[in-house]
C-alpha cells in the first residue's frame, strides 16, 4: 500500500496587516521589510477566530475536494505551535469535534514551521503500515497570539492561516508520495523559542512582566542556518531519488523570507516559474505556510494532477524537512 497526496484546502482570515500598518506600530519601514523579507502584508485572525476555526474551514474544503465524507477520515493530525489550548485538549481533537468526526485517533504535532511536512510523514507511515486509509493532516496557526507587536524584529514576519490535506491509501505507485526527509537538532532550541507558558516557566507575574509568552528569535543566526540546511537537504533528497531540479514544476518552500527561498532556489538553479511564492501576501504562517502555498497554486490552476512537488521547510526546534511527491488530486 502507498500513500498519495489526495487533496488540498486552505483558509486565510480577512483582516490584512500591511507594512504601512506596522510603520504606525513600531520603528520600521515598508522599504526595510520588503527588502529584508519580501513581505508586503500578512493576515491576522480576529479575536474570536482561533486556530481550530481556520483549520476546520480548510479541512472541510480538503475533504470535499478528495470526494470523501467526514466519516471516511480515520486519523486527524494537526501541526501547530499556536494550539487553541496549552496543552489539553489537542487542537486536532477540537477540529475533529467541529468537523463532526467521531471516534477516530486525533493528535497534534509540535514541530513549528516544519509541522506540516512532519504530519505528512506520519500520515505516510500510518497508511503504508495499513493502519489507516484517509488521514486528514492540517497546518494551522494563529501566530499573532504569540507575537509581541512592540518587537520589530519578529512582528513584521508572522501571519495567521490554515491549510489541510487528505492523504489516502493507493495501490498505484505512480501517484505515491516518493520520499520524505524529516530531521531535528535540539541544540539550536534557543534560536526560536516561546519561553512560557510551560513546565520551565509556568504562568506567573514574571512571565507577564518579562513578556516570556512571546516568540523570541535569533533572526540572523536562524537565517544563515536555514539557507545552509535547506540547500543541503533538498539537494540530498533529489540526488537520492535521482530527480533533477529542472524536472520539478513546483518547488514549494516554507514561506519565511524571500531571501532564504531565493538562495535555496538559486542553489538548485530553479527558474522563477518553478518557485512558489506567497510570502509577500501572507508572511510566515509557520505550519500553515506550505499547505497554504500548495492551495494557492491549486486554486490558480497551476497545479495539475500528477505534477511533481518538492517541499522544504525549516523551523523552531530546530526542525527541518523536505518531501518529493506528485499531486494526486483532480486538477481544478
Ligand atoms: N525594521 C527596521 N529595522 C530593523 C527591523 C525592522 N523590523 N528589525 C531589525 N532591524 C534592524 C536591527 O536592529 C539591525 O540594526 P543595527 O544594524 O543597527 O543593529 C538591522 O536591522 C539588521 O538586523 P538583522 O537582524 O541583522 O537583520 P537581517 O538582515 O538578519 O534581517 C530578519 C532580519 C528577521 C528579517 C532575518 O534575519 C530573517 O528573516 N531571519 C530568519 C527568520 C526566520 O526564517 N524565522 C523563522 C524560521 S521558520
Residue 319 cell numbers, joined: 526542525
Are 11 and 159 contacting, i.e. CB atoms less than 8 angstroms apart? no
Our mutation pick for probing the ligand 1 site, out of 17, 22, 27, 36, counting the most ligand atoms within 8 A of Cβ, is: 36
**241 has catalytic annotation:** no
Distance in angstroms (rounded) separating the CA atoms of residues 171 and 166? 16
Are 43 and 12 contacting, i.e. CB atoms less than 8 angstroms apart? yes
Closest C-alpha to ligand 1, atom 2: 28
What class does CATH assign to 2-172? alpha beta
Q: Which residues of 42-70 are buried (b: 16+ CB within 10 A; e: fewer)?
A: bbbbeeebbbbbbbbbbbbbbbebbebeb
Residue 15 cell numbers, joined: 483582516
Residue 326 cell numbers, joined: 506528485
pLDDT of residue 87: 80
Is residue 256 in contact with ligand 1, taking CB distance under 6 Å?
yes
pLDDT digits (tens, 9 = 90+) for 307-325: 999 999 999 999 999 999 9
Collapsing DSSP to helix, strand or coil, 38 comes out as coil
How many angstroms does the Cα of residue 36 sit away from the middle of ligand 1? 7
Distance in angstroms (rounded) separating the CA atoms of residues 138 and 128? 19
Looking from the CA of 286 toward its CB, the CA atoms found within 13 Å total: 32
Is residue 113 in contact with ligand 1, taking CB distance under 6 Å?
yes
Distance in angstroms (rounded) separating the CA atoms of residues 159 and 175? 32
DSSP H or E segment with residue 142: strand 134-142
The 3-state secondary structure of 217-284 reads ECHHHHHHHHHHHHHHHHHHHHHHCCCCHHHCCEEEECCCCHHHHHHHHHHCCCCCCCECCCHHHHCE
**93 has catalytic annotation:** no
How many angstroms does the Cα of residue 239 sit away from the middle of ligand 1? 33
Residue 63 cell numbers, joined: 475533504
pLDDT digits (tens, 9 = 90+) for 241-254: 999 999 999 999 99
| Residue stretches of the chain with pLDDT short of 50 | none
The pTM of this model reads: 0.97
pLDDT digits (tens, 9 = 90+) for 70-106: 999 999 999 999 999 988 999 999 999 999 999 999 9
Are 110 and 49 contacting, i.e. CB atoms less than 8 angstroms apart? no
How many angstroms does the Cα of residue 150 sit away from the middle of ligand 1? 14
Is residue 264 in contact with ligand 1, taking CB distance under 6 Å?
no
How many angstroms does the Cα of residue 8 sit away from the middle of ligand 1? 33
Q: Which CATH architecture has domain 179-326?
A: 3-Layer(aba) Sandwich (3.40)
Distance in angstroms (rounded) separating the CA atoms of residues 98 and 261? 35
DSSP H or E segment with residue 162: strand 160-170
Chain position carrying cell 535569533: 218
Task: Give me the residue spans of the domains in the chain.
Answer: 2-172, 179-326
| Fold agreement (2-172, 179-326) | yes
Closest C-alpha to ligand 1, atom 42: 219
Amino acid at each position: 500500500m502507498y500513500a498519495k497526496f489526495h487533496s488540498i484546502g486552505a483558509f486565510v482570515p480577512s483582516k490584512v496587516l500591511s507594512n504601512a500598518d506596522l510603520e504606525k506600530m513600531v520603528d520600521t519601514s515598508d522599504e526595510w521589510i520588503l527588502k529584508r523579507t519580501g513581505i508586503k502584508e500578512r493576515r491576522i485572525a480576529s479575536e474570536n477566530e482561533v486556530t481550530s476555526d481556520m483549520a476546520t474551514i480548510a479541512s472541510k474544503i480538503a475533504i470535499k475536494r478528495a470526494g470523501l465524507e467526514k466519516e471516511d477520515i480515520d486519523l486527524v493530525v494537526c501541526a501547530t505551535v499556536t494550539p487553541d489550548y496549552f496543552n489539553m485538549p489537542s487542537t486536532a481533537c477540537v477540529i475533529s469535534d467541529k468537523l463532526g468526526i467521531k471516534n477516530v485517533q486525533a493528535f497534534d504535532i509540535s514541530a513549528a514551521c516544519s509541522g506540516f511536512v512532519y504530519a505528512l510523514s506520519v500520515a505516510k507511515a500510518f497508511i503504508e503500515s495499513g493502519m489507516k486509509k484517509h488521514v486528514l493532516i492540517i497546518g494551522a496557526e494563529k501566530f499573532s497570539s504569540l507575537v509581541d507587536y512592540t518587537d520589530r524584529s519578529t512582528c513584521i514576519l508572522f501571519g495567521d492561516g490554515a491549510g489541510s490535506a487528505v492523504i489516502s491509501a493507493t495501490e498505484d505507485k505512480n501517484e505515491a508520495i516518493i520520499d520524505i526527509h524529516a530531521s531535528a537538532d535540539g541544540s539550536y532550541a534557543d534560536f526560536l523559542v516561546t519561553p512560557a507558558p510551560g513546565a520551565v516557566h509556568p504562568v506567573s507575574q514574571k512571565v507577564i512582566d518579562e513578556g516570556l509568552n512571546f516568540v523570541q528569535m535569533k533572526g540572523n543566526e536562524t537565517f544563515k542556518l536555514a539557507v545552509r540546511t535547506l540547500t543541503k537537504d533538498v539537494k540530498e533528497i533529489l540526488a537520492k531519488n535521482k530527480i533533477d531540479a529542472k524536472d520539478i514544476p513546483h518547488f514549494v518552500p516554507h514561506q519565511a523570507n524571500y531571501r532564504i527561498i531565493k538562495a535555496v532556489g538559486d542553489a538548485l538553479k530553479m527558474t522563477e516559474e518553478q518557485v512558489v511564492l506567497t510570502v509577500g501576501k501572507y508572511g510566515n504562517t509557520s505550519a500553515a505556510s506550505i499547505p497554504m502555498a500548495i492551495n494557492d497554486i491549486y486554486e490558480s490552476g497551476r497545479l495539475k494532477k500528477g505534477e511533481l512537488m518538492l517541499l522544504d521547510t525549516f523551523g523552531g526546534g530546530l526542525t527541518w524537512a523536505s518531501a518529493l511527491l506528485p499531486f494526486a488530486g483532480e486538477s481544478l
